[in-house]
Amino acid sequence: MILITTHTNADFDSLACMVAARRLYPGAALVFSGAAEALVRRFLERHKDDFQDLVPLKGMDLSKVERLVCVDVSQRDRLGPLAELLNRKPPVALDVFDHHPGASDLKGERHLDEEAGACSSLMARVLRESGISPT
């Protein structure tokens, strides 16, 4: 199983990046590592049918996770309980997409850590370079 996650206080940039990353990792589950900001929660309540790939962390069998894709985050301490996946022997495969260079203590197999106004800007470029159109 592949999980796509973000930092523990997800905002709209985080959510957009998770949705974009799902285009790179078809079939992956979107999981918040913690809470979402209040406006994001309200948005998701209104559009829950459009975000059926967003699954709750509670009750998830993390032993089945093979790859963790982190978007808008590159620091272990901002991953909440999902950081435990990186402590496995061997650790799960990791990919990182973030727009805060220099803050990273994670190193992904696929790693994009560039300064940008929003991580979703980086993800749009990755999609374009991969020949993938947003839906």
103 vs 75, residue with greater confidence = 75
How many other C-beta atoms are found inside a 10 Å radius of the C-beta of residue 134?
A: 11
pLDDT tens profile 44-89: 999 989 888 899 899 899 999 999 999 999 999 999 999 999 998 8
Ordered alpha helix ranges (H), 1-135? 12-24, 38-46, 119-129
pLDDT (0 to 100) of residue 59: 86
- pLDDT above 70 covers a percentage of the chain that reads 100
pLDDT (0 to 100) of residue 32: 95
pLDDT (0 to 100) of residue 125: 94
Element (H or E) spanning 98, and its range?
Answer: strand 93-98
